[in-house]
Amino acid sequence: MICLITSIFAFILESPIDSTRSSTTLSEVTVRSAPRFLGTRSLPDMDKTLIFLGKKTEEISLAKLDANLANQSFRQVFNRTPGLHVVESDPSGFNTSIAIRGLSTNRSWDFNMRQNGYDMTPDPMGYNEAYYTPALEWVDKIQLIRGASSLAFGPQVGGMLNYVLEAPVFEQALKGLVQQSVGSWNLSSSLLKLKAGNQRIAWLASHQFRQGNGFRPNSAFDSNQSYARLDLKSGKQNRLIFELTRSEVLSKQGGGLSEAQFVSNPKFSNRSRNYFQAHWLMPVLKFQFQVNPRLQGDVQVLGIFSGRSQVGFTKSNDVVDLPLAEGAYATRQLDTDRYTSFGLEGRFGYQDSLAGRPFFLSTGFRLFDGKMQRGQLGTANASVDFTLQPIQDFTRKFSFENQNLAFYIENLLKINPRLAWTFGLRGEFIRSFATQELSNPISSFRSRQFLLMGTAIAYRVNSDIEGYVNFSQSFRPVSFSDLIPSATTDQVDPNLKDAKAQNMDLGFKGQISTHLRFDISYFLLKYQNRIGQISQKNELIQSYLYRTNVGESTSHGLEAYVEWDPLATILDHESRLGHPSFFVSTSLLQANYGDFPLANGQNLRGKNIEYAPQEIIRTGITYRIASMSLTYQISSTSAVFSDAQNTIIASPQGTVGLIPAYQIHDVSFSYRQGKHVYMKGSLNNVLNASYFTRRGTGAYPGFGILPAELRNISFTFAYTW
């Protein structure tokens, strides 16, 4: 921290830019352009302080996609990302729920979720649930690194996902954007963005207001999100950056459905007084510097001041929320979380030669302190409005604190012009404190240490095609919420242990000229002490889920992305007829439990992992001509089980049972008129398929089936200057 403060003072006191200073010599950079390919590419081998060589990486450019960003359509945004399972149960798009390789879809728990390179969840080691998602209309790129990200970014088993927001530009006159989107069920999204810069200062500010009714009754939502960034430049390489993100969201929760209710009417809802609210405030200060052509780094300080609350009628879906005999409603349940987190993270990159061979050293540290205060089972008033004022205090109160210190070092050595090798280590130190605030307070303390290893080899067949293999260790720490039951019927094993995992990728990626791009790989994920849920029955013969360690699991399969422009295969120039490009993104997954005996005499051996589709296929065609682009895509996902015992016949409440396979068709377009006018539109779920991707097991967002959206449209008009 002292080094950071000293550097900032030196930065502020530095003399104005002198254009006569000698220039800095940069390393050679190879740039390959493939303008006919849209949306997805691999990350470079190295980027400032980071090493990506040998890893399975993707970078999605949202500006190149014909995706519905107004309503946060992740199915379209990730249409070229193989194996990404998207849970579609929230019409508001506030909470991202994605997973890969049979991991948890619960609010993207198994990813290290970041915005502009910094953590955006309450606590990656203690409560890593994504209650905040940036407005996709802000996002420039999405970077995804699978399990091999565990060394540089943190031990999350699924990898790292980073939302890269649009950045301000130096020496740019004032520019702005006004954008309005409308869509089905009164969807409205209004966006205003301004940015400008001179030789030393650049800034950007944006605000989005979004609201809609949702396709089901009792699903209305609204959000206000603001983002501002200020860059101060000194010399050509040093930069001080301040970012501030603020988000306020509120949505109604229509509740879950039984099997019979869903079949009869997937729009049905018998919950009119249930709400979800979240607020997020993230100030960030960054200092990026380059000491000399060989050494550069960045240090960032992060604060997260946030929380989420839920209030509603929490009975199961077979109990209708109706006025009582005297005409008044029953009181409601109130649950709240408050998060206060601070982080300090630094990275440094050094390049030189060793025995005549180029090498690159990446190292860094992370210090994080996260606090959470949780109140459960409070009593709220009997009105139909949203409230955070309890009329009776919480009957359960908890305080949690998680302290995390981590160091990593990773080295890249080019053995020869074709072959390169990386090796690295990461040390994690975690201290967790928990206090139950009752008449007889109970406190507990846990301390753990982990040492993780990762390595990768990349072989460049030629300038455009590369083979790669990597191996990395990771772990899934027991979170705060794992140690206590949620405010529902679920129960939790008090002796939960941290889970450990090993990831491996083996594949080829690259492109052939400007007409074919591909990334095809085999993966293997071994998971020990996996944290999962077992369906059990209580003394009233009612089903509930028990969270515990469920032994070892193995996931392996194929992930493939291929995109082909047939006209580019024939022609060596732009076609007057435009360019069609065909893409397919697919994963074939086999994810099974190992030996784990159950109390009822059964065994999980050979059972499929819950929420792990054996097949995810997204395919389509994008046709571009002049300033217009049109995309038609088909998304197919195979059936999954919602519990570890692979229950097929749904329970009466719909909380467990098979989730059937589904196929969704989407069509979208974008059109630019000159320099100032831009339009986008989409027709989602063209065939109006009735489907669902999740079964709720608690009062929030509801017991039973949580339906996905039926056919809907959106249209966006933007003017820039």
Whose structure tokens read 């051996």? Answer: 605
- pLDDT bin (cut points 50, 70, 90) of residue 27 is very low
For residue 290, CA distances in Å to 22, 139, 237, 239, 296 come to 14, 27, 6, 9, 4
- pLDDT bin (cut points 50, 70, 90) of residue 486 is low
275 close to 251: Cβ distance less than 8 angstroms: yes
Tell me the torsion sign for CA atoms 672, 673, 678, 681: negative
Tokens (6 digits) for 401: 């604190």
User: For the residues 498-508, what does the mean pLDDT come to?
Assistant: 96
Residue range 198-208, pLDDT digits in tens? 999 999 999 99
pLDDT score, position 34? 41
509 close to 559: Cβ distance less than 8 angstroms: no
* Residues 35, 515: Cα–Cα separation, whole Å: 10
For residue 620, CA distances in Å to 15, 17, 63 come to 55, 50, 18
Q: Indicate the domain borders of the chain.
A: 2-6+39-319+329-720
- pLDDT bin (cut points 50, 70, 90) of residue 28 is very low
> CATH class for domain 2-6+39-319+329-720?
mainly beta
User: For the residues 14-37, what does the mean pLDDT come to?
Assistant: 42
Residue range 530-542, pLDDT digits in tens? 988 787 777 776 6
pLDDT score, position 1? 45
pLDDT score, position 21? 35
User: For the residues 25-37, what does the mean pLDDT come to?
Assistant: 45
C-alpha closest to that of 102 among 663, 648, 644, 698: 644
Would the pLDDT of 681 be above 60? Answer: yes
* Residues 588, 171: Cα–Cα separation, whole Å: 48
Residue range 103-129, pLDDT digits in tens? 988 889 899 999 999 999 999 998 998
User: For the residues 271-281, what does the mean pLDDT come to?
Assistant: 96
Q: Is the peptide bond between 597 and the residue preceding it cis, with omega within 30 degrees of 0?
A: no
Would the pLDDT of 452 be above 90? Answer: yes
307 close to 370: Cβ distance less than 8 angstroms: no
pLDDT score, position 495? 83
Written in H, E and C, the secondary structure of 5-61 is HHHHHHHHHCCCCCCCCCCCCCCCCCCCCCCCCCCEECCCCEECCEECCCCCEEEEE
Average pLDDT of the chain is: 90
554 close to 527: Cβ distance less than 8 angstroms: yes
* Residues 26, 13: Cα–Cα separation, whole Å: 26
pLDDT score, position 86? 94
Would the pLDDT of 622 be above 80? Answer: yes
Tell me the torsion sign for CA atoms 317, 321, 322, 324: positive
* Residues 195, 199: Cα–Cα separation, whole Å: 14
Tell me how far the alpha carbon of residue 87 is from its chain's centroid: 12
DSSP assigned state of 216: S
Residue range 603-615, pLDDT digits in tens? 999 999 999 999 9
pLDDT score, position 465? 96
pLDDT score, position 572? 67
Q: In the sheet that 57-61 helps form, which strands lie side by side, from edge to edge?
A: 40-41, 57-61, 139-145, 159-165, 111-115, 118-119
- pLDDT bin (cut points 50, 70, 90) of residue 2 is very low
Other CB atoms within a 10 A radius of the CB of residue 633 amount to 22
DSSP assigned state of 329: P
Q: Which residues of 664-678 are buried (b: 16+ CB within 10 A; e: fewer)?
A: bbbbbbbebeeeeeb
pLDDT score, position 202? 97
pTM: 0.93
pLDDT score, position 576? 79
Residue range 641-657, pLDDT digits in tens? 998 899 999 998 999 99
* Segments of 538-595 assigned E as strands: 543-549, 553-564, 579-593
* Residues 243, 489: Cα–Cα separation, whole Å: 41
For residue 670, CA distances in Å to 64, 69, 425 come to 9, 12, 45
C-alpha closest to that of 275 among 580, 701, 673: 701
- pLDDT bin (cut points 50, 70, 90) of residue 70 is confident
Residue range 557-604, pLDDT digits in tens? 999 999 999 887 887 666 778 889 999 999 999 999 999 998 778 899
Would the pLDDT of 25 be above 50? Answer: no
H or E stretch at 168: none
Tokens (6 digits) for 317: 């879906």
Helix (H), strand (E) counts: the chain: 4, 39
700 close to 90: Cβ distance less than 8 angstroms: no
C-alpha closest to that of 549 among 598, 591, 607: 598
130 or 347, higher pLDDT: 347
Would the pLDDT of 194 be above 60? Answer: yes
* Segments of 253-331 assigned E as strands: 275-292, 295-312
Would the pLDDT of 218 be above 70? Answer: yes
pLDDT score, position 533? 75
Rg over alpha carbons for the chain, rounded to the nearest Å, is 26
